[in-house]
Structure 1
Amino acid sequence: MKPERFDEGRFEFGETVRITRNVRNDGTYPGMETGALLIRRGSVGNVIEVGTFLQDQVIFTVHFLNPGRMVGCRLEELIGIEEPWNPSRFEFRDKVICTIDLAMQGNILFAKGTEGEVFKVLRDSELIQYHVAFQGRTLQVPESALAPAHPESFHEPEL
């Protein structure tokens, strides 16, 4: 018995949508290395086609004007532009620096300006926090205490 495809009509041609997760090249996007970030979580695009993959997965081809890419997305990766959105400034693998000294029980663990890498984004509350790996140690850090490690190449998320 073939599964029902009740979700096929969720988004229409031309409808503006937001992607809810980062999309990386799985090796099928030409001209970019496997694993390269194609579309950042929170980016906005327009549905240009609705199709199927393996006869039972509905795929929405979405044109993201910034950075000018067309990417296939599953329904669970998209929300309507009018739906609530709690953006985070950083994502998994982003390189960051701490903007304050990070201390525990009065002992400075990492001085202001120490570089780390985002390991996990904690989005469950209104105050976005991150698990950040600093020199082999992972700390939970609020977004307000972080800045991009390489601001010249950092792209702020769309609000």
Structure 2
Amino acid sequence: MRPAFDYGDAVRVIRNLRNDGTFPGRATGVLLIRRGSTGFVREIGTFLQDQIIYSVHFLDADLIVGCREEELIAADAPWTPSRFESREQVAARIPLALRGDILVSPGEVGEVIRVLRDHPSGVAYEVSFRDRPMLQVPESALTEPATAPSPAAENPR
């Protein structure tokens, strides 16, 4: 078992890194580092003698996070950034139809299930909209969901 990266190598994380309960001071499940972020290898170790773990310093977030080898690529390797990530809420920017039938109206909110970075027509997403089949949606057809007004804004005193 030989490490793919060495001390000081610039690397890019290819998955969102969330706290699995081992990162002190942050709640379990909270996003630590967003997919596509780059950092530098500081230490190399093993876990259970069969997994290489890299301590990577992500300078933008000023965090050192343990990463498995399969979560990393070289920072200069080809990478297609995406606007949204898995588990994020998105809204339809335009009507979404399947075989001519409109399934989702503009503004309806769904959840990104999977990011398709190497889709032939550019970045696309598998999106789950409530009570509808999973849809494959191009990035250009999605936007951030509108935020609901706070009760204080609706009922000013």
TM-score (norm 1): 0.81
The structure that has the greater radius of gyration is 2
Of the three residues 35, 39, 56, the one matched with 1:45 is 39
SS of the residue corresponding to residue 76 of structure 1 reads: helix
Look up the match of 2:150.
none
Unmatched segments (≥5 aa) in structure 1 = 152-159
Q: Post-superposition shift, 1:99? A: 0.9
Aligned: 1:146 with 2:142: yes
Aligned: 1:71 with 2:39: no
Counterpart of 2:33, as a letter, is: I
* Distance in 2 of aligned mates of 1:119 and 1:55: 32
Look up the match of 1:131.
126
* Percent of residue pairs identical: 55
Q: Is the 8 A contact 1:50 1:60 kept in 2?
A: yes
Q: After superposition, what is the alpha-carbon deviation per residue over 1:48-102, rounded to whole angstroms, capped at 9, x for unaligned?
A: 1112222332211001122221111122211111111122222210111111111
Look up the match of 1:83.
77
Counterpart of 2:105, as a letter, is: A
* Distance in 1 of aligned mates of 2:51 and 2:128: 36
Q: Is the 8 A contact 2:17 2:32 kept in 1?
A: yes
TM-score (norm 2): 0.82
Q: Is the 8 A contact 2:107 2:146 kept in 1?
A: no
Of the three residues 40, 51, 55, the one matched with 1:57 is 51
Q: Post-superposition shift, 1:150? A: 6.2
Across the two proteins, how many residue pairs are aligned to each other? 145
Aligned: 1:104 with 2:98: yes
Q: After superposition, what is the alpha-carbon deviation per residue over 1:99-152, rounded to whole angstroms, capped at 9, x for unaligned?
A: 11112343322221111110122234242211111123221111111112269x
CA 62–103 in structure 1, closer or farther in 2 if over 3 Å, else same: same
Unmatched segments (≥5 aa) in structure 2 = 148-157
